[in-house]
Structure 1
């Protein structure tokens, strides 16, 4: 089994930092101090919707559990429990009828032509054979930059080890919270975080997300640089986006000498990004057991969650890697390729579980203290894709998240790789795909504020933009507040040449429907040819 590696080449040294998850599936109560699997005194628990507060309090008292964190996105509690009782507490909680799930607070590990002077070394953006590789085995960044170099208002959350906020090639693209006044010790925007001017450090629970933990090796700064090192500024390198805003959300820190992040800190970062309206995050970490808490948070965020496939050389269809393997529509799982468009020797893969690949070997990017380094890993492939997502969103803000994902996957260059698309990211292709052949529009027919038991009514309109009849798979789904979907209709329909079909649809809402914001999603897809989606928000009130 190959270990996860990040490779940094300096002037006279070569060092290797192993950053792969150390969680085993068979767990003992006493953990190795060198290879911790979960935090020794914390548990994540989700109670059932109908659980009474008194019953919850009784259960918490029975395990001597103190609630230390709750999340906006998902009804999950982080409990502090007596040291080294985690597994026994989890077993007890699972036995209680009020509990939906309980699990340890797992530790994840990092997987580990502008005028910028070192741009010529960045083969992943533009491969001229400069590193001995294959011409054009790249993401076609220069071609994409002929269309757009990014949107300074587009924000990408980087859930990692933080970022060097003052790096010469990153500082201009670091996100600043417009609602926060620096250094006044107040929560000016009322979001629950004091002085979160440039993001948040969830690992240490403070307002400084700087990339300072030596055990993490500058990983977060490197991934941030691939997404959005300032382009055409005459300094260093360039990101996939010349202009973008990087929101550093620090979840990783040194724990017993290893660079680790707990599930609760990762969920905290996901929660924060969703609260601040961020639509895409870069997640270069993973491995280890399935976490229901992480699954629920990623699903509820509804943002595109770009995730590293992992670096063990495994088939993820057989040996899952989390979080990239969670079966969620808003995840894009990324493998790594080399400069010859071959799967990197360390990269995980999977024709069902990994969506596409991107350059991930000897990738040059920013590292702390105004340095630049070559790293390798699916960690490095992932921000190429997250950066491409941001470029598409910035070029057309009307695109839904599903439309962006479809374009990213559909635009990949097919290299017969062992991933779902068979392909490697090509951001220019994704930007230049033709408009949908069949478009869908959902128009409310009545109020968009409803009560349980009320009638949800809308008009579905399909339009064929082609001079010949087109058959598309039409689906209607109600997206719930937790991100899960209730599919109402899914069938193939043929739309006449240059024609339009209209249908009024009414559905009675269940009496037990949970209040909150719902989306009616209308979708029209011609496989491998065309995809369109329209979303309408409905509010269900008590």
Structure 2
């Protein structure tokens, strides 16, 4: 239990430190959990300088604010702990560095297209721009659908969240909000006894959503009031501590070197160090920045995500969201209003490996990233997900990364049809398990690992997130898990990679574990092109490094064997996967 900060220096001539409970402050700085992009992340650092993994697991989900910095100088890959080898380095990474040095050095990789269905991508990023898929059949900027695929000027991908006038959706509602908004109109005055037999399933979904919505609205309202109420006291506390210690920057060095005999100030210093350690903040000003970002995100949750009358789709995209036959809408702006999440995910898969700057993607050149924008700041729509999968498949993607998810899926049949279409074209789907620290055996998360008839999706890998140490925190404390619905775990804590503006930073989430796995799949497909989607799934699962460590079960105070948290009981192991692929290729 973290200690509270007591009131200090009660006299009028000395700084005053408010009585602030540390757990409340930590909650305030990390309140965006499981809200905006359900498989998304927290930034522990946004920088152009190498940054080590933090000592503790950070909560996922808050949306980072990139820092505008010059293009990085030098190689930052030492910050990528997840590239290390579990046997040589005693770190539960995927062994990418060792694999390239020992198993792949005399082999030539082939082209592979990995589609990233996400929020968008910074197409000018110094470590990504050379790795973008290019539609060579399309003439850029001529306003003509040259390749006749139904999408005009789709040079590097497509945006299903855009309008014909070039505008784009950023904030969106949650799926539960959309169900409730429609249900209150459709079922006003009706009960389970009075609805038509053909409406009973929809009515039951509405009733379930209504209960979830009311609970969520109450929780978010309380969180907003809490986080907003913390901003002022914490700002005052930081200012007063700077004055008391005679410093302009309250970083870890200044705090650890603080000389004071006052027990209250000593407790304040210790508390500030704890908060910075828990949140990954570089200094107190960064901590305040995170808190203020939390205020903004909670306000957006109430004003947009949970707002029953908010409908940007009607004004911008102008399609019929309920018409699942519509495929040709959107625009070619694959960057979108906020490409943070998609940029980070894309870099994990295929940031340039051999340019001696920035980070290293897992997959080699000539693997290429196709960007399909379908994930807003809110819940993605089933229609967009289905169309994004079909677009990727039709344009040559062999692997599709899906770092998103949600609690309700009213048009699930459209997504499942797209899954089957991908399977018919030999395309592997890789999906983040979600960040609600829930057991997916009893909690819904969509897209699901099973079809509605309860059969497994043969070309889908569902991935949980693991941490940098083989101890009780090996499963990330936010990760979903399941002995049936989560296939494997992969590194997803403090993953250092690309962010917009040619910057780099740490993020945590199953959103990161999924592209780590997709990157390994791309390596296998690149060096062993005859492998089918089913082969890729089988090899990754069979080669996973099984751990029997006693760990903290996410979201509980219980301990369990790590091997019981997924189908394989293991963490993705690129070294062993390549060895197994070599045998399969003989």
TM-score grouping bracket, smaller chain normalisation: 0.5 to 0.7
* Aligned match for 1:138, one of 90, 93, 109: 93
Question: 2-side partners of 1:16 and 1:336: how far apart?
Answer: 12
Residue 189 of structure 1: CA displacement?
A: 1.2
8 Å CA contact retained: 2:85, 2:97: no
The equivalent residue for 1:24 is none
Secondary structure of 2:97's counterpart equals helix
Residue 11 of structure 1: CA displacement?
A: 6.5
Secondary structure of 1:172's counterpart equals helix
1:212-227 matches, within 5 Å, as 212-214=336-338, 218-227=340-349
* Aligned match for 2:331, one of 179, 198, 206: 206
1:437-452 matches, within 5 Å, as none
1:313-324 matches, within 5 Å, as 313-324=437-448
Residue 116 of structure 1: CA displacement?
A: 6.0
The equivalent residue for 1:412 is 544
The equivalent residue for 1:182 is 140
Question: 1-side partners of 2:361 and 2:387: how far apart?
Answer: 26
Question: 2-side partners of 1:260 and 1:171: how far apart?
Answer: 28
Question: 2-side partners of 1:259 and 1:350: how far apart?
Answer: 25
Residue 288 of structure 1: CA displacement?
A: 1.4
Question: 2-side partners of 1:436 and 1:363: how far apart?
Answer: 31
Residue 135 of structure 1: CA displacement?
A: 2.2
1:427-461 residue CA offsets vs partner (Å, 9 max, x unmatched)? 11111117668x9xxxxxxxxxxxxxxxxxxxxxx
Question: 1-side partners of 2:396 and 2:495: how far apart?
Answer: 30
8 Å CA contact retained: 2:490, 2:517: yes
1:331-480 matches, within 5 Å, as 331-341=460-470, 342-416=474-548, 417=562, 418-433=565-580
Question: 2-side partners of 1:174 and 1:324: how far apart?
Answer: 29
Secondary structure of 2:515's counterpart equals helix
Secondary structure of 1:352's counterpart equals coil
1:270-349 matches, within 5 Å, as 270-290=389-409, 291-302=412-423, 303-326=427-450, 327-341=456-470, 342-349=474-481
Whether 1:264 and 2:393 are equivalent positions in the alignment is no
Gaps of 5+ in 1: 21-114, 440-464, 466-542
8 Å CA contact retained: 1:116, 1:238: no
Secondary structure of 1:390's counterpart equals helix
- 1:410–1:206 Cα change, 3 Å: same
1:247-258 matches, within 5 Å, as 247-253=370-376, 258=377
Secondary structure of 1:249's counterpart equals strand
Question: 2-side partners of 1:405 and 1:160: how far apart?
Answer: 22
TM-score by length of 1: 0.58
Residue 19 of structure 1: CA displacement?
A: 6.9
TM-score by length of 2: 0.54
Gaps of 5+ in 2: 1-30, 48-53, 64-72, 163-329, 451-455, 549-561
1:222-248 residue CA offsets vs partner (Å, 9 max, x unmatched)? 000000000020121011013110001
1:516-541 residue CA offsets vs partner (Å, 9 max, x unmatched)? xxxxxxxxxxxxxxxxxxxxxxxxxx
The equivalent residue for 1:121 is 79
Question: 2-side partners of 1:282 and 1:313: how far apart?
Answer: 21
Secondary structure of 1:189's counterpart equals coil
1:383-411 residue CA offsets vs partner (Å, 9 max, x unmatched)? 00001111000111111111111111111
1:164-204 residue CA offsets vs partner (Å, 9 max, x unmatched)? 11100000101101211111111111111111100011111
The equivalent residue for 2:362 is 240
1:277-322 residue CA offsets vs partner (Å, 9 max, x unmatched)? 2121000011212412111111221121100001111111111311
More strand by share: 1
Question: 2-side partners of 1:436 and 1:395: how far apart?
Answer: 13
1:256-286 residue CA offsets vs partner (Å, 9 max, x unmatched)? xx44321111111101011112121000011
The equivalent residue for 2:229 is none
- 1:174–1:375 Cα change, 3 Å: same
Question: 1-side partners of 2:351 and 2:533: how far apart?
Answer: 24
- 1:328–1:372 Cα change, 3 Å: same
The equivalent residue for 1:160 is 118
RMSD of aligned Cα (Å): 2.8
1:8-34 residue CA offsets vs partner (Å, 9 max, x unmatched)? 13479x9987479xxxxxxxxxxxxxx
1:495-534 matches, within 5 Å, as none
Question: 2-side partners of 1:16 and 1:208: how far apart?
Answer: 31
8 Å CA contact retained: 1:336, 1:360: yes
Corresponding pairs, count: 334
1:474-502 residue CA offsets vs partner (Å, 9 max, x unmatched)? xxxxxxxxxxxxxxxxxxxxxxxxxxxxx
8 Å CA contact retained: 1:19, 1:259: no
8 Å CA contact retained: 1:355, 1:420: yes
Secondary structure of 1:227's counterpart equals helix
Residue 324 of structure 1: CA displacement?
A: 4.0
Question: 1-side partners of 2:438 and 2:74: how far apart?
Answer: 37
8 Å CA contact retained: 1:169, 1:230: yes
